[in-house]
Chain A
């Protein structure tokens, strides 16, 4: 009978699937959670070589940045143990390291040459001198501009521009009729998107997140100056709807030739001069602007590989990290895809390599990274480490909410004063909840 056989088949299927479902993976496989950035995707393509070399199989869990962060944070705090290697950033590493959740990476092989890691990167990925994550690539931020539009406007970009020059150049380059915006900047809500940009920018205006007693500082004139300058400049010469533009949206605009300048991550340099760009031949680079107060508006970030404590495959995971963040990998990519495509910003030796020095954005990337100091990022002293973030567990949550208020102000849905007032209340409330105040 039809029904009976259906039921039997259903039961059998259930048993089979349930039986197979609880089986564990075999021992020589490591599971890696990573972000879906271009450099990471490229690395996945090269892992077959690693497996052939070492016999260690690699399983990838590739997720979009926000999902990745949510997934790995829950895993590490609940001791889930689903991953042998996690891709994390400069924000998470010191916090997790200080909790003892990451395997220290201070015993990597001599061949790996940990001393070759750029000091800024190694420092940002360490807690009390112990390295907890190995940088796969590092970045700062800088000005990318259209040399042709600059010339047409009769201006010359200095190597180290000021904000007033940027605003002026943006106004000059803007050509609404031809859909050219003088400057494209991040306005998108999220601590890693617009939040990162405005925080780094505020540093150069003399603002800071917290004073020495962890009081929020959004009621200061410096923050008000920062936001007013930003909003005025974007209204004058930014793209419409910039309050929802993040890295991706701006990259796309710039590549389509719709931006005169774009101040963003140094890794974008290889994209705007790459195949997807319609303006690849006319891009120049300069340091992120300052305001004459001794601090520039560039940030520092690294995507790095870390091993959660308690993994069964610590040795294999270390082997992989040495392979992926070592010098050999860089050479392999350079040989196959050219020097412009190697993961930048992690190693000193890369910038000493004559082949790499010939890449147009190499010097400005290095200068930007070298000019960023996470331990001393603000004009007035602050109690936190980090440039575009404060390396405390509460920051991501607070800054996401604060940046949402800012974005609403960018979109004209509330005044800058209201946004700052709300930001002040949100921050103080959250810091109180966490027991700082």
Chain B
């Protein structure tokens, strides 16, 4: 149905977006690749003007053989997976709850959506100081009230604590998308199933969940993109201590703390590879769902 003219027009209309994104991707990527093959220690006076020494794959093998590398990949996957699990499961339950008739639904929705508007730095600061502080935090007060010893959250349950903070930020997003999807569910179908005496679990598994599949994949896709590069939450709370060093944070330490741009760039390339592995895995699922 599309004519040749409209095709070339379409290409023209896509050009600005594609060109700009291409530049945004290629310029840093090429520079990162270049740096990753050089010795680039800015605090030792290395700079582009003075010329960078080519070191081949030395940075890559050093980054890979560092004792911090594999644990950081593991932490990254745990964190992303954990947050996805929490937000999707709680998101589905919450969406089903909000779909029920109730009083003040609008206000409840306002309360639940609020964390999404809070900037990551602020939410990390608030959770660290106001909620999880082992002396003055709300949790500490709560624990003491029930007669138990307050938990040093960011020390003894560091990764879970950060996952809680991040989940709190992303739960509204997941809930809203899932809620919109649930609301479009044909209620007659559900009622019919109810009449037939299908138990709640079965109704959920065979009617609700399949209907939500597409919304869930979209939640997973969008969130994964943002979660892989989580930074502020770790920087503010633990600074990478107590097993919370993700790959992104490890790169930060190499580039900023150690001021080793070559090594950090090699880490950046690894992060891109990891992201793409995750992406391919995701696209397989989502790509299929996008067709539907």
* In-complex A–B contact (CB below 8 Å): yes
- A residues adjacent to B (C-beta < 8 A): 66, 70, 73-74, 77-78, 95, 99, 189-190, 240-241, 243-244, 249, 252-253, 393-394, 396-398, 400-401, 404, 407-408, 411, 413, 422, 425-426, 429-430, 433-435
B242 touches A408 (CB 8 A): yes
Q: How far is the CA of A407 from the CA of B45 in the complex (A)?
A: 32
User: Are A189 and B259 also in contact (CB < 8 A) when A99-B45, A425-B67, A433-B62 are?
Assistant: no
Question: Please, how many angstroms separate the alpha-carbon atoms of A393 and B260 in the complex?
Answer: 10
CA distance A370 to B44 in the complex (A): 31
Smallest CB–CB gap between B132 and chain A, Å? Answer: 10
Stretch binding the partner chain, chosen from B93-101, B152-160, B279-287: B152-160
Q: With A393-B43, A404-B240, A434-B44 known to touch, is A244 a contact of B154 (CB < 8 Å)?
A: yes
Interchain CA distance A99-B47 in the complex, whole Å = 12
In this assembly, does B196 line the interface, its C-beta being within 8 Å of a C-beta of chain A? Answer: no
The answer on a CB contact under 8 Å between B241 and A189 is yes
* Residues of chain A lying within 8 A (CB to CB) of residue B210: none
Check B68 against A393 for contact (C-beta < 8 Å): no
Task: Report 12 cross-chain contacts, Cβ distance below 8 Å, ordered by A residue.
Answer: A77-B259, A189-B238, A241-B155, A243-B152, A244-B155, A393-B41, A393-B44, A394-B260, A400-B253, A407-B241, A426-B68, A433-B263
- Chain B residue at smallest Cβ distance from A77: B42
Residue ID in chain A nearest B235 by CB atoms: A66
B84 to chain A, nearest CB (A): 26
The 10 A-B residue pairs whose C-beta atoms are closest, nearest first, are A397-B258, A393-B43, A241-B152, A77-B42, A189-B241, A397-B257, A404-B241, A241-B134, A244-B155, A411-B155
Residues of chain B lying within 8 A (CB to CB) of residue A411: 152, 155-156, 242
What distance in Å separates the Cβ of A186 from its nearest Cβ neighbour in chain B?
A: 13
By the criterion CB–CB under 8 Å, are A433 and B260 in contact?
A: yes
CB nearest to B39 among chain A residues: A435
Q: Which residues of B contact A429 (CB under 8 A)?
A: 62, 66-67
A314: min CB distance to chain B, Å: 22
Q: Closest residue of chain A to B42, judged by CB? A: A77
Report chain A residues within 8 Å CB of B68: 401, 426
Report the minimum CB–CB distance from A430 to chain B (whole Å): 7
B258-287 vs A, Cβ < 8 Å mask (1 yes, 0 no): 111001000000000000000000000000
Q: Which residue of B lies closest to A404 (CB)?
A: B241
Q: Which residues of B contact A (CB under 8 A)?
A: 39, 41-45, 47, 62, 66-68, 134-135, 149-150, 152, 154-156, 235, 238-243, 245, 253-254, 256-260, 263
Q: Which residues of A contact B134 (CB under 8 A)?
A: 240-241, 244
CA distance A70 to B155 in the complex (A): 24
Task: Pick from B39, B154, B240, B259: contact of A393, CB below 8 A.
Answer: B259
| Given known A-B contacts A396-B257, A429-B66, A434-B260, A95 and B135 have beta carbons under 8 A apart | no
Q: How far is the CB of B129 from chain A (nearest CB, A)?
A: 10
Q: Is B149 a contact partner of A434 (Cβ separation < 8 A)?
A: no
Which A residues are CB-close (under 8 A) to B243? 408, 413
* Distance of B243 from chain A, by nearest CB (Å): 7
- Determine the residue in chain B with the shortest Cβ distance to A397: B258
B51 to chain A, nearest CB (A): 16
Q: Which residues from chain A contact B62 at a C-beta distance below 8 Å?
A: 429, 433
* Assembled-state Cα–Cα distance A99/B43 (Å): 8
Residues of B within 8 A of A425 (CB): 67
User: For A426, what are the chain B residues with a Cβ–Cβ distance below 8 Å?
Assistant: 67-68
- The distance in angstroms between the C-alpha atoms of A78 and B42, with both chains bound, is 8
Contact between A70 and B256, CB atoms less than 8 A apart: yes
What is the bound-complex CA distance between A74 and B256, given in angstroms? 8
A177 to chain B, nearest CB (A): 14
Chain B residues, Cβ within 8 Å of A253 = 135
Using CB atoms, name the residue of chain A closest to B63: A433
Given contacts A393-B44, A397-B259, A407-B242, contact A243 B254 (CB under 8 A): no
- Residue of B at shortest CB range from A244? B155
Shortest Cβ distance from residue B169 to the other chain A in the assembled complex, whole angstroms: 20
Q: Once bound together, how far apart are the Cα atoms of A435 and B43, in whole Å?
A: 13
CB pair A95 B154 closer than 8 Å: no
Residue of A74, A190, A407, A434 with highest tally of chain B CB at under 10 A: A434
Asked whether, in the complex, the Cβ of B66 is within 8 Å of the Cβ of A397, the reply is no
A252–B44 Cα distance when bound, in Å, is 39
In whole Å, how far is A63's beta carbon from the nearest beta carbon of chain B?
12
Q: Is the CB of A396 within 8 A of B258?
A: yes
- Chain A residue contacts of B155, Cβ below 8 A: 241, 243-244, 407, 411
Give every chain B residue within 8 A of A393 (Cβ-Cβ). Answer: 41, 43-44, 259
Contacts of A95 in B (CB 8 A): 43
The complex places the Cα of A201 from the Cα of B243 at a distance, in Å, of 25
B43 A77 Cβ-Cβ under 8 A = yes
CB distance from B44 to the nearest CB of A (A): 6
Residue of B nearest to A239 (CB): B135
CB distance from A251 to the nearest CB of B (A): 12
**B241 — which chain A residues lie within 8 A by C-beta?**
189, 404, 407-408
Question: Which residues of B have CB within 8 Å of A73?
Answer: 43, 256, 259
What's the Cα separation between A408 and B253 when bound, in Å? Answer: 18
CA distance A241 to B242 in the complex (A): 13
Contacts of B242 in A (CB 8 A): 189, 243, 404, 407-408, 411, 413
Contact in complex: A240, B149 (CB < 8 Å): yes
Chain A residue contacts of B135, Cβ below 8 A: 249, 252-253
Min CB–CB distance B139 → chain A (angstroms): 13
Residues of A within 8 A of B67 (CB): 422, 425-426, 429
- Which chain B residues border A190 with CB–CB below 8 Å? 239
Shortest beta-carbon distance from A56 to chain B in Å: 31
